Amino acid sequence: MTVPATAPRGDAPATPGFGAFVARARAAGTLVVQPRMGMADPLRMRDGLLATRGAAATTVGTITLDSYTRTGDLAAARSALNEGVGLNGYPIASHPVDVTRAVLRGVSDARFPVQVRHGSAMPEHIIRALLAVGLDATEGGPVSYCLPYSRTPLSEAVACWRRSCELLASLREFGAEPHLETFGGCLMGQLCPPSLLIAVSVLEALFFRQHGLRSISLSYAQQPDRVQDEEALTVLGRLADELLPDVDRHLVLYAYMGVFPRTPGGARLLLEDAARLAVRTGAARLIVKTTAEAHRIPTVGENVTALETAAAAAAAERLRPPLTAVPDTGIEAEARALIGAVLELDTDIGRALVRAFAAGYLDVPYCLHPDNAGRARSSLGPDGRLHWSNVGSMPIAGLSGGPRPPILGSADLLGALSHVQWSYDSRAAETPDLDRTPAAPRELGHTTP
Amino acid sequence: MNQLEPQRGKAEPAGLDVVVTTMASDSHTWNLVFLQLLLEELGHRVTNLGACVPDELLVSECRRIEPDLIVLSSVNGHGYHDGLRVIQALRACPELAATPTVIGGKLGIAGSGEPDRQRSLLAAGYDGVFEEGRSVADFRSFVGALPPAASRALSAPADRALPADRALPADRALPTAARTLPTASASGVLR
Ligand code: B12
């Protein structure tokens, strides 16, 4: 069996906290895997958490929130619940506190920490709701949950995220160690060159620390090219060690966040590549995607399968020789230049971020948010590597070679967005055995302990 | 290069004024960028309202612009529910009661291909429902069959015939919206 050790779950009393759990798993040489999972019905949410806990993998649980709760439209969330309208996540601020406590009772503890994933530019109501039910781990950031997720002015998101961080960090007075993960390593999910992902991830982590958090993870999302990702994650780890030496920290990799392969085989190959990448680059945790990603919200069974697939690929990768040298194509120089330019603007990192976007020192390609300069553009090489075709006013001109030809027109854009989908679906088609229809979603509770 | 780059982005005088938008709960925008480029390549002028557009803003922008076509796109799974609400608000405005209005994307959380969903959206007042990527060809035919803006402008009040580059209030419109309204040019045919 390739079932990985589940050491962090063990019997001995364990230090509570999300960060501590991940640190134990890392020490035991195991990758923590985590789903993106959220459903409106409390019983189904509980079943999903139980199935995640029971999967043959070292897992942490997720409660992903619905879009109404994310955007603060609690009236819409409530009426959707009343009318039985299908929600794309769990409405944590609408279910009574007792109900969510019952969802978590006997499920979430030091051996199975649960994180709330939300995507809110103004998350204070969500932080209050998760604290009220006894949770202390979540994710996001003042930039990464504003620009790609809202039309909220960046300065308002920064102010709300500051309050939210302080609220979450206040748990430390009671001996807890709340955990916050940056979403900066994802941004728009696709077509963003790695240096900007790294810079925003690091800057958000610094923002979290400035507002009281001491257990932080830094995200990075898998991109089309493995070698470019290896370089990027190595740089992210180096910058995190250098700039956040005094906090508990780890790297978290997101399985590809752009247009996903449509076939089960293609989706699986891409997820397995993500798991290998995480192991090779020292990421301690991986957030998986399922074979349903391109089509609809996944079932619990599809999520469990994804967790176990990723864990098995990670365990196999551990047996291979580790990554030794990575090439230097300028990602580090760009990331340092971006971070340095922002930090010079103001000692208050939130204010520095607002000013950086106003000046175009940070500029997210293809982001329509009114506070994004919108001059930077990326391009995708035939080999899948991401490049800049225009750096706008970002202080990185020439650091990784000259500008590349831009993406022009709707067909070109769709081609670039679909590159990963297309190449993995083709690969799966060449491996017919892989592309079988997935087994029917497994019964809940039928998972390996 | 302060704008999106359509492949053949020359707005035709006969081109349509189109509003491309999503709804309040949906933050996905690659769909909007794609649709904007596609429509611009077809010779139309696009105002892209961007992510998470509240109902009031959506309606007020459409009343102000009085577009020839409103394109709603949603992929987060709430599109059906949100779309039923928004079409009521649009149709309640006399100036938008007959404006061609379509919706598309991934409208539910359980996959596409629910004919009932399409029927009730049409019954609620949409002129077209285009779910998933395969529907883009149908959408092009639909847009191609709309009468050119010039023919409507003849019978429209004077302000309808103003050139396309009217300024958008900075606090409302996304930068790309204002940037991508090219000045009308007389070259080329509507494709
Ligand atoms: C990238 C992405 C994101 C990015 C978006 C960044 C951004 N600002 O755009 C990020 C990471 C931020 C994100 C967030 C979320 N996402 Co998302 N995301 C995707 C992903 C991976 C790709 C979407 C994409 O960019 N496609 C490229 C564009 C060009 O294609 P498209 O959107 O599919 O549109 C095509 C067609 O649908 C069609 N079309 C679309 N609209 C219209 C309209 C008309 C009129 C016509 C003719 C055609 C048409 O034209 C396009 C070209 O073919 C998809 C899954 C996938 N497809 O692989 C999930 C997905 C769309 N996301 C999903 C969800 C639920 C969310 C979240 C709510 C988080 C969550 N609960 O999981 C949040 C959004 C929060 C909110 N407030 O809404 C779900 C939706 C589920 C459903 N409908 O059943 C998907 C399907 C993933 C999944 N399986 O769970 N997401």
Residue A153: closest CA among A3, A372, A417 = A372
Q: Is the pLDDT of residue A440 over 50?
A: no
Q: Is residue B116 part of a domain?
A: no
Q: Is the CB of A70 under 6 A from ligand 1?
A: yes
What pLDDT sits at residue A229? 98
Cβ–ligand 1 contact at A367 (below 6 Å): no
CA distance A303 to A291: 9
B170 part of a folded domain: no
- Asked if A41 contacts A81 with a C-beta cutoff of 8 angstroms, the reply is no
Please report whether residue B160 resides in a domain.
no
The predicted structure's pLDDT at residue A438:
46
Report, as an integer, the average pLDDT of A315-333.
Answer: 94
* Ligand 1 pocket check for A259: Cβ under 6 Å: yes
A377 chain-B contacts, CB cut-off 8 A: 1, 5
User: What confidence score (pLDDT) does residue B3 get?
Assistant: 60
CB–CB contact B2 A375 (8 Å): yes
pLDDT score at A177: 98
Provide the pLDDT for residue B150.
61
Q: Are strands A377-380 and A386-390 parallel, antiparallel or unpaired?
A: antiparallel
Average pLDDT, chain A: 94
Q: Which domain holds residue B42?
A: 15-106+125-144
Q: How far, in Å, CA of A67 to CA of A83, rounded? A: 16
Q: Tell me the two tokens of residue A293.
A: 């990603």
Q: Which two tokens stand for residue A62?
A: 């997720």
Structure confidence at residue B149 (pLDDT): 77
pLDDT tens digit sequence for A90-115: 999 999 999 999 999 999 999 999 99
Percent of chain B with pLDDT over 90: 64
pLDDT tens-digit map of A57-77: 999 999 999 999 999 999 999
Contact B41 A409 (CB under 8 A): yes
For the residues B60-83, what does the mean pLDDT come to? 97
- Distance, CA A270 to ligand 1 centroid (Å)? 18
**Contact at CB, A410 and B25, closer than 8 angstroms:** no
In the chain, the amino acid numbered B110 is: A
Domains in chain B, number:
1
Please tell me if the CB atom of residue A89 comes closer than 6 angstroms to any atom of ligand 1: yes
Asked if residue A297 has its Cβ within 6 Å of ligand 1, the reply is yes
Phi-psi label, residue A375: left if phi above 0, alpha if psi -120 to 50, beta otherwise: alpha
CB contact burial A242-264 (16+ within 10 A = b; e otherwise)? ebbeebbbbbbbbbbbbbbbbbb
The pLDDT of B109-118, averaged and rounded, is: 85
Angle at A270 between CA A269 and CA A271, to 5 degrees: 90
- Residue pairs between chains A and B whose CB atoms are closer than 8 Å: 117
**pLDDT at residue A12, as a whole number:** 67
The pair of structure tokens assigned to A10 is 């063990």
Residue B173 has pLDDT above 50, yes or no: no
Q: What is the pLDDT of residues B13-68, one digit of tens each?
A: 789 999 999 999 999 999 999 999 999 999 999 999 999 999 999 999 999 999 99
Min mean pLDDT across A71-75, A439-443, B55-59, B108-112 is at A439-443
R_g over Cα of chain A: 21
What CATH number is associated with residue B137?
3.40.50.280
Question: What is the C-alpha to C-alpha distance for residues B25 and B86, in angstroms, rounded to an integer?
Answer: 12
**CA pair distance A304, A227, nearest whole angstrom:** 28
What band does A441 get if pLDDT is binned at 50, 70 and 90? very low
Token digits of residue B189: 């045919």
Torsion of CA B130, B132, B134, B135, to 10 degrees: 10
**Is residue A285 helix, strand or coil?**
strand
Could you report the per-residue pLDDT of A351-396, keeping only the tens digit for each? 999 999 999 999 999 999 999 999 999 999 999 999 999 999 999 9
Question: Residues A302-307: what's their mean pLDDT?
Answer: 98
CA–CA gap between residue A220 and residue B63 (Å, rounded)? 42
**What pLDDT score does A434 carry?**
64
Instruction: Tell me the C-alpha distance between A326 and A228, whole Å.
Output: 9
Q: How far apart are CA A332 and CA A330, in angstroms?
A: 5
Residue B189 scores a pLDDT above 60: no
Which of A139, A137, A142 shows the shortest CA–CA distance to A121? A142
Q: What is the mean pLDDT of residues A329-350?
A: 98
Give the atom of ligand 1 at the shortest distance from the alpha carbon of A71. Answer: 77
Q: Give the minimum alpha-carbon distance from B154 to chain A in angstroms, rounded to a whole number.
A: 32
* Packed helices A300-318 and A42-54: angle between N→C axes, nearest 10 degrees: 20
Give mean pLDDT, residues A264-291: 98
CATH of A18-318, one of 3.30.750.24, 3.30.70.2610, 3.30.70.1230, 3.20.20.240: 3.20.20.240
Closest ligand 1 atom to A36 CA? 72
Q: Is residue B175 part of a domain?
A: no
Q: Is pLDDT at B191 greater than 70 in this prediction?
A: no
**Does the pLDDT of residue A436 top 60, yes or no?**
no
pLDDT of residue A324: 86
CB of A417 closer than 6 angstroms to any ligand 1 atom: yes
Nearest residue to A240 via CA among A322, A336, A99: A336
Residues of A in contact with B77 (CB under 8 A): 67, 86-88, 296-297
Closest ligand 1 atom to residue B52 Cα is 77
Does the distance separating the beta carbons of A149 and B7 come in below 8 Å?
no
Each domain of chain A, given as residue ranges in start order, spans: 18-318, 352-417
- State pLDDT tens for residues A111-134: 999 999 999 999 999 999 999 999
Instruction: Give me the residue from B2, B37, B52 closest to A374, CB to CB.
Output: B2
* pLDDT grade for B112, boundaries at 50, 70 and 90: confident
Task: Calculate the CA A22 to chain-centre distance.
Answer: 15
Residues 115-154 of B with CB under 8 A from A: none
Most B CBs within 10 A among A413, A414, A417, hence the mutation to make, goes to A413
Phi and psi at A388, nearest 5°, equal -95, 135
Would you place residue B115 in the very low, low, confident or very high pLDDT band (cuts 50, 70, 90)?
confident
